[in-house]
Amino acid sequence: MSTRTRTRLPGRLAALVTAALLALAATMVGLSSASAAPQPAAPVPASGGEAWPEYGDGDADVDVAAAKLLLIQIGFDPHMDYDRPIYFDGHMSHSVRAYQEYAGIPETSRLDADTWEALSDDTFGLYRRGSRGEAVEAIQRLLNAKYALHLFTDGIYGPNTEAAVRSAQGDLGIGVDGIAGPVTFRALITYQDYDR
């Protein structure tokens, strides 16, 4: 026969412990039934929730210039006029349509959501300090226009571009790492609240 020592809690303390355990049990039951009920959708973060803007023949915007640079990078040259890069002209329409055919998406000749998604997938890895090329120039042009900066649009991802990307990422509510990847690209393109 084993002997056990039994400790008895004073009456008031025992009542408090019992009440706390009952409250915890009630909370757990409430949580499990609440999780079964439909919950309102969480807000979509800035990094992917906004709709892509749409552009077509005759439109003019820095987003168009960025798209032209990305098309050049992947071999669909829209014959960009660097003096007037923001205009969506006949060359751009032809290049967009050729790219859409290549990408297997509807051939609308417009920069629409499907086209932006495909361009992002085909051109945006991770651009960071030391990166070079048309995508970097596109980032620089977007930052200059949408944040009134004066970066050199030289296609070289240097410390000034990195600092500008960090600042924009903070403003756009996305992860701040100074690296321009697909999330940063989408946030920059979909950000439309700037002085044109």
What value does the mean pLDDT of the chain take?
Answer: 83
Domain limits, the chain: 54-123, 124-196
**Closest alpha carbon to 188 in 113, 149, 138:** 138
Give the model's confidence band at 196: pLDDT under 50 very low, under 70 low, under 90 confident, else very high.
confident
Q: What is the pTM assigned to this prediction? A: 0.75
Q: Report the phi/psi class of residue 148: left, alpha or beta, with left for phi > 0 and alpha for psi in -120 to 50.
A: left
- For 13-34, write each residue's pLDDT tens digit: 344 334 444 444 444 444 343 4
124-196 CATH fold: Muramoyl-pentapeptide Carboxypeptidase; domain 1 (1.10.101)
DSSP secondary structure code for residue 154 in this structure: S
CA 37 to chain CA mean position, Å: 30
Average pLDDT for residues 36-52, to the nearest whole number? Answer: 49
Mean pLDDT of 41-48: 38
Q: Where are the alpha helices (DSSP H) in 2-157?
A: 11-36, 62-73, 90-103, 113-123, 134-147
Question: How deeply is 53 buried, as exposed, middle or buried, from its count of CB atoms within 10 A (0-12, 13-18, 19+)?
Answer: middle
Work out the angle between the directed axes of helices 90-103 and 113-123 (0-180°, nearest 10). Answer: 70
Write down the CATH number for the domain with range 54-123: 1.10.101.10
Longest Cα pair distance anywhere in the chain, in angstroms? 98
Q: Do domains 54-123 and 124-196 have the same CATH topology?
A: yes
Contact (CB, 8 A) for 23 and 60: no
Q: What is the pLDDT of residues 99-156, one digit of tens each?
A: 999 999 999 999 999 999 999 999 999 999 999 999 999 999 999 999 999 999 999 9
